[in-house]
Every structure is written in structure tokens, then in C-alpha cells.
Amino acid sequence: MKRLCLLLIISLFTFPGKTTPPKFPSGRIVDLSYAFDEQTVYWPTADTFHLETVAEGMTPQGYFYSAYKFSAAEHGGTHIDAPVHFAQGHNTVDRIPLEQLMGEAILVDVTKQCATNHDYLISVDDFQKWEQANGKIPQGAIVLLRTGFGKFWPDRKQYLGTDERGAGAVPKLHFPGLSPDAARWLTQNRSIKAIGLDTASIDYGQSTQFESHRTLFAANVPAFENLANLDQLPAKNFNIIALPMKIKGGSGGPLRVVAIV
């Protein structure tokens, strides 16, 4: 039976007229995810990452064995925000189509603007200037936003604007994000699969209404937050593969994301 199954699989790749898999993009692989550990940055009100040792060492039988357990909030470290996070009835993590989490991507670099203004709102003008230099944002692209805040990771005070914890810390958050006007422009005038950036939230730190979240998620556009190594990416002509933990009904979860340049 196993031999028959193997022959059937081989036939799909070798026999004329049979379905063949799509060509996998080649190029340099850039890891856009931070490791999860005790330094991982979380929202001030969220539970942080904890790793506990279940077993580690030599067994009585003479071989090494290790096992651990972890706990954490959905939203922290390099993670995905599923649309249901701010849009009732919209896609949960496990319902986001895989096709929406991989494919052609672009990078809009606003590091100069954010260097002098930690509350900078990425604007429609920023996208239009990118298009003037690079052409129209491709249909179905994944849009990444580089603010330059990745250089502060994992220093919570520099990265978030405060290293305090709890609800009282939230009004003290200062980091760039996507303006609500730009979120509306993207969803109404361009067709994008997903969006991501190198800060803790797609809305800027001082947001109280989270309008960019709400606008994007109402259109079922998920967000990738706390991305790493965006300084290693070009403005265009690269691909993204972003695979989150498949949490049934989840509003978000840890994300392993890579770029192929």
C-alpha cells in the first residue's frame, strides 16, 4: 500500500498532463521573526512569554532527553493580528487563507521620518511617493513598513516609549504606525493581502481608537507586527512566507515569517 501511494505521488510530478506544483521562488532567505524568550516585547497589559522545563538531562536508560512547556499572550513578539481581533465575524487565525500569507511583497521605508518623530503616522503621501519611484503597488501584494524601530529591540523603553507594565503604561506608548487615512486608502484603492511593520502595533502608540486596525480588519487584511530585519529588504521584487501558529478561533498568534530576496 505504501509503495502504491509513493508511485501515485511521483506520477503527479513526472507524468505528462498531470498537475505539477508551482515553482518555488529562489533567493536569499531573510528571517523576519524574533525568537521568543524572557526579553520578548509584549503590550503592557499582556502576559509575557514563559518557558518552563519539564525535563532536561540524562535518563536512567542512558540517553539525553529534554522537554519544555510555554505560555504567552497571543499578541507579542513577532506575531499576526487576525482580522477578528478588531472586526467581529471576520477571519480568525485558522481561517486566514494560506494564499493570503505568502507571495509578492514590497517595502515602504519611512525611517527618516520616524527618526525625528516617534509618533509618526505613515501617510498616503508615503505610499504615493513609493509608487512614483517603483510603480503602482502590485495587486495582491503584501505591504511591509520599515520605521527603523527594529534597532531598539528588545529595549522596551526605546521600542515602546515606556518600560512600565499594566494599564497605566498604555497612554505612555510612543512609536510610529499607519495613519487611518492611509489604511482607508489602501483598502479602497489598492488590493493587498496583508500588511506588516517593525513596531508593536499597526496603529501608532498614542492611538486610542485603533482606526487602522479596524479599517484593515474590516477588509479581512491581517497585520504582522514586531517584524525583524526589515533593513535587509529591498523596496520590491521579493517574496514573503508568513505562517502563524494555527490557533482555532484565535485573534492572533506567534508568527514565523521569512522573506525570499
DSSP string, 86-101: TSTTS--GGGS-GGGG
Instruction: Give the domain range for residue 198.
Output: 29-34+74-260
- The reply to whether 47 falls in a domain is no
- The reply to whether 237 falls in a domain is yes
- Supply 88's cell numbers: 467581529
- The reply to whether 42 falls in a domain is no
Question: Is residue 67 classed as helix, strand or coil in its secondary structure?
Answer: strand
- The reply to whether 19 falls in a domain is no
What is the C-alpha separation between 31 and 257, in angstroms, rounded? 7
Residue 237: CB atoms within 10 Å: 12
Each residue's pLDDT tens digit, 94-153: 999 999 999 999 999 999 999 999 999 999 999 999 999 999 999 999 999 999 999 999
- The reply to whether 176 falls in a domain is yes
Average pLDDT value for residue range 64-76: 97
- The reply to whether 21 falls in a domain is no
Supply the CATH number for residue 188's domain: 3.50.30.50
- The reply to whether 65 falls in a domain is no
∠ CA 219-182-114, rounded to 5°: 130
DSSP character string of 210-232: -HHHHHHHHTT--EEES---GGG
Each residue's pLDDT tens digit, 170-225: 999 999 999 999 999 999 999 999 999 999 999 999 999 999 999 999 999 999 99
Residues in the chain: 261
- The reply to whether 198 falls in a domain is yes
**How many structural domains is the chain composed of?**
1
